[in-house]
């Protein structure tokens, strides 16, 4: 299986690149942010609890997102692989993902990190807020809170994959197509290793 973690702070372009990747590769896109927003839209209890935290720019508890990912992995046992977008966001989530994949005799192939500085992220998220309808994109304080959550809780996940020799960083500022090409080169090298 080809399992890629698309990593980076909020506003780095993970969603945009994921959409392009699923058009190119037969991989299943798993975005915990999208899954949580679906729960909110469906009015489930999980969604209602998550919304309170999401509206404050705070991460939801590890158990909640790990449980959602576990369900999705079980529903898609025969998939060619997955693109994980916005997950794992803590080292605990990364460790749990490793053991869930191990139960299915597979593993993360590599992490691709999109690097974008905080000023650019803030600008992009506030611009997205004008059209996305996402409550957490609407004001600068909330956007900065999300970046702060990323810096304290999520950034260490990069080291987790670097220790496994799976970390690749890409400059996330530039033309969408050029960034996409760089991502594809990394994925293709993993796909070649799989087929060798």
| Site residues for ligand AMP per CB under 6 A | 10, 32-33, 36, 53-54, 57-60, 65, 86-87, 89, 93, 136, 146
Q: Is 124 a catalytic residue?
A: no
Q: Which of 23, 24, 84, 86 lies closest to 59 in space, CA to CA?
A: 86
Q: Which one of the listed residues 49, 72, 134, 166 is annotated catalytic?
A: 134
* Residue 56 labeled ligand binder: no
Closer to ligand AMP by CB, 89 or 168: give it: 89
144 is catalytic: no
Q: Check if 49 is active-site.
A: no
Q: Is the CB of 36 or the CB of 158 nearer to ligand AMP?
A: 36
Of all residues in this chain, which one has the CB nearest to ligand AMP in the complex? 33
List, as residue ranges, the binding site for AMP: 32, 37, 58-60, 86-89, 93, 134, 146
Which amino acids are annotated catalytic? Answer: 14, 89, 128, 134, 146
């Amino acid at each position: 299986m080809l399992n890629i973690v698309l990593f980076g702070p909020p506003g780095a372009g993970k969603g945009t690149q994921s959409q392009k990747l699923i058009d190119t590769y037969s991989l299943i896109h798993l975005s915990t942010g999208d899954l949580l927003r679906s729960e909110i839209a469906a009015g489930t209890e999980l969604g209602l609890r998550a919304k309170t935290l999401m509206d404050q720019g705070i991460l939801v508890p590890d158990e909640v997102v790990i449980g959602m990912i576990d369900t999705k992995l079980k529903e898609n046992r025969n998939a060619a692989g997955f693109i994980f977008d916005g997950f794992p966001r803590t080292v605990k989530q990364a460790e749990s993902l490793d053991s869930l994949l191990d139960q299915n005799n597979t593993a993360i192939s590599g992490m691709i990190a999109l690097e974008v500085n905080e000023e650019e992220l803030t600008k992009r998220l506030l611009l997205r807020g004008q059209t996305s309808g996402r409550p957490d994109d609407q004001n600068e304080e909330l956007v900065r809170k999300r970046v702060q959550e990323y810096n304290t809780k999520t950034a260490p996940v990069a080291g987790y994959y670097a220790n496994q020799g799976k970390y690749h960083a890409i400059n996330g500022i530039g033309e969408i197509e050029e960034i996409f090409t760089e991502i594809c080169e990394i994925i293709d090298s993993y796909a070649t290793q799989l087929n060798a």
